[in-house]
Amino acid sequence: MSDENHEFISREEGAGALALADDVLPETLYILPVNGRPFFPSQVQPVIVDEKVWGETLKRVANSQHKLLGLSFVDDKAADEVPAPERIPDIGCVVRIHRIQAEDGRIQFIAQGIRRFRIREWLSTDLPMQARVQYPQRSTDFTDEIKAYAMAIINAIKELVAINPLYSEELKNYLNHFSPNDPSPLTDFAAAITTAEGKALQDVLATLPLQKRMEKTLVLLKKEVEVARLQAEINKTVNEDISKHQRDFFLKQQLKTIQKELGLAKDDKTAEIDEFVQRLEGKDIPAAARKRIDEELHKLKMLETGSPEYSVTRNYLDWATSVPWGVYSTDAFDLSHAREVLDAHHAGLDDVKQRIMEFLAVGTFKQEISGSIMLLAGPPGVGKTSIGRSVADALGRKFYRFSVGGMRDEAEIKGHRRTYIGALPGKLIQALKDVEVSNPVIMLDEIDKLGASYQGDPASALLEVLDPEQNKEFLDHYLDLRVDLSKVLFICTANQLDTIPAPLLDRMDTIRLSGYIAEEKLAIAKSHLWPRVLERHGLKKSQVKISDSTLKSIIEGYARESGVRNLEKLLQQIARKAVVKLLENPKAKISVTNKDLSDYLGAPAFRAERILSGVGVVTGLAWTSMGGATLPIEAAVVHQQNRGFKLTGKLGDVMKESAEIAYSYTAGHAADFGGDPEFFNSRFLHLHVPEGATPKDGPSAGVSMTTALMSLMLNKRIKRHLAMTGELTLTGQVLPVGGIREKVIAARRSKIMEVILPEANRRDYEELPEHIRKGMTAHFAEKYADVFEVVFG
């Protein structure tokens, strides 16, 4: 009877034949689902289940005469879950249970696999689950193909045993219960010892034809051999690496011990102490500092390396011995070289270069540069930081820059005390350690943006640093040693001076950098920016060309601000788009013209400035942190029902006061300038400064506001291309204002070539470079009558 024709027989069908003990099996079985892996007839292993759920089932099985139970594989079954009958496969394994033990809500028993069964009918789907079953007919065929598969399975098992000796115990257990000449148990045993997934093993269990079952088992066994072989190789590699590292470690330890015995090597502490002592050789250390360092070295010798104090002392000595005590670089006192460096790095800024050259000339004359703190003040993008680097290059000194913008902790300047965990010296000591000389050029960037908090006031901490009379003995809280900073050349940068504390500003020599006019920007773009952009983008001059007229259009339409940083960004944008085109067509020659700018940069950000004109309209000049700007001012009559005065334009308190002074002065002196004294008594006036969303403040709009009211009173228009600045008193005196260079540049940018300035600012105007004053007409007013003469004369 073959497996294919008669897979299962019932108890009645097998009656009358001589039966073995395991052949006498009941027609009904209690069913217990298992998860993880199915159970095979050749297996003997413990099974653990939940007592609350399956306790009654096991009790009934234990009380039965045959003690047989049906185990069915259910995938993803929780321990306390009773699966639905449709989830339980038809094919399972009947087992005999031994040694039932209950403990802590769990039941453990030994299951001995007997034979496969198939569920014919469910007698009870509730607990305890019971079904009518039938059992497969054992195969009696032993063909040559089956013999071949049996040999292949045996050889695969031998390979597994050779690779992983753990499988030998499984093999001994099998040989004690079964004959290796019986292929069916051999196949089940081979499948059971693999680590295949539960579904694959259930497929083997449910395959009744012996040869097909052997084929599937052999596939699983071969995979297991490959996994075991790979695992063995990994273990071998890891063990070899570990052995090598252990061998190297032991050899190194032995070598250290031998070297110590022979006096050829030192321990870590001795080596560190020797390194600290070696660092101090050749340095000119003050006596107080030398005494303190020697004390710390002696303490380090006494401490154990595992002591917490050891690491604190070691870190202190690391910093104290890294300070370049008395180590100075040699200054290059060559004025011609310095001028070449400044001209090579910067176009324009002649007045700033001249001031720096004077500073260097004094140092050359004295053969020593010290005692002066430079402050470069100007709008963003005019080259303040790069000038500081150029000064360092001109002198041949090391350069160190750090930004103090937003700094709120004075410990960043003067260091933390050693009592704190993670204490460090201040930025200045760190700078000296990095540059390894005591006379570098240190740039303090954005000094106008220092903050203050509960952690201290860094601006006050800088007072000692930037005072030539005090920084000879600068005290860092971490080192607690006096360090000489008098040979350091400090260069600070700021966008505006208003936010710098007066005591700190008093210690610095201010050099103002105003914005560039269009001609200067064009020269900078041609000589510096465009070549640098090409180099950074890997482009050649022959690949991408841009004309002077195109650069001028970019400056006037897209980059009107005082600096050139935004101009460089725009040129980079053009270069990026050019690179995209070159990747599409590598042989292309790109020429950027005015017509192409909208494709490269979009619509112009700035329109041609329209100068407002008419009765009561005046163009004033203002200074901002971004440079100079034109400021139109408008005055108009609202109605003639009563006297009144209204201000708009988001003006600050100072500008509001200027407007009130202008109103009072114009109303009080109307007759002196040919106006009607009754004009203001019967009219409600409105003074407006356009762009009301932009805050405006500053003491320089009094003259402009007065002129707007005068124009309104006299009903006379003001010249279109005339701008003015200056503050006015109630007696008509014109007071000086600041930012003359920025304001004149703003007027030129708007093509206004005639300006009215306070008489007290005549010298400021005359000191402007010739190319800025060229073509300009400047009128100077000492009192308002002088302004009136120019405007309405």
DSSP β-ladder status, 399-403 and 441-445:
parallel
**Whole-angstrom distance, CA of residue 572 vs CA of residue 394:** 29
* Inter-residue contact 450 to 456 (CB < 8 Å): no
Residues in the chain: 793
Amino acid code (one letter) for 189: F
Find the DSSP H helices in 323-407.
335-345, 350-366, 384-395
From the list 697, 700, 701, 693, the residue with the least C-alpha distance to 635 is 701
**Whole-angstrom distance, CA of residue 344 vs CA of residue 115:** 96
The residue from 700, 704, 711, 750 that is catalytic is 700
3-state SS, residue 711:
helix
Tell me how far CA of residue 152 lies from CA of 40, 184, 211, in angstroms: 20, 14, 12
Q: What is the CA radius of gyration of the chain?
A: 48
The residue from 384, 427, 696, 743 that is catalytic is 743
3-state SS, residue 671:
helix
Tell me how far CA of residue 659 lies from CA of 664, 722, 788, in angstroms: 9, 20, 17
**Whole-angstrom distance, CA of residue 659 vs CA of residue 478:** 54
From the list 501, 384, 498, 404, the residue with the least C-alpha distance to 445 is 404
From the list 769, 765, 763, 764, the residue with the least C-alpha distance to 754 is 765
Angle made by CA atoms 709, 714, 720, in degrees to the nearest 5: 70
Angle made by CA atoms 9, 12, 14, in degrees to the nearest 5: 55
DSSP result, 614-652: SBTEEEEEEEETTEEEEEEEEEEEEESSS-EEEEES-B-
Structure tokens given for 312: 């604190």
From the list 606, 386, 621, the residue with the least C-alpha distance to 518 is 606
- Please identify which residue in the block is written with the tokens 């709120």: 408
- Please report, to the nearest 10 degrees, the dihedral formed by the alpha carbons of residues 724, 730, 731, 737 taken in order: -40
Amino acid code (one letter) for 383: G
* Range 418-422 contact pairs with CB under 8 angstroms and sequence separation of 24 or more: 418/312, 418/316, 418/478, 418/480
* Inter-residue contact 743 to 621 (CB < 8 Å): yes
Q: Could you confirm whether 743 is annotated as catalytic?
A: yes
From the list 660, 673, 546, the residue with the least C-alpha distance to 597 is 546
* 605 torsion bin: left (phi>0), alpha (psi -120 to 50), beta (else): alpha
**Whole-angstrom distance, CA of residue 354 vs CA of residue 168:** 93
* 187 Cβ contact list (under 8 Å, min separation 6): 153, 204, 210, 213, 214, 217
Beta-bridged to residue 373, according to DSSP, are 490
- Please report, to the nearest 10 degrees, the dihedral formed by the alpha carbons of residues 350, 356, 357, 362 taken in order: 150
Q: Could you confirm whether 269 is annotated as catalytic?
A: no
* 453 Cβ contact list (under 8 Å, min separation 6): 408, 409
- Residues designated as active site: 700, 743
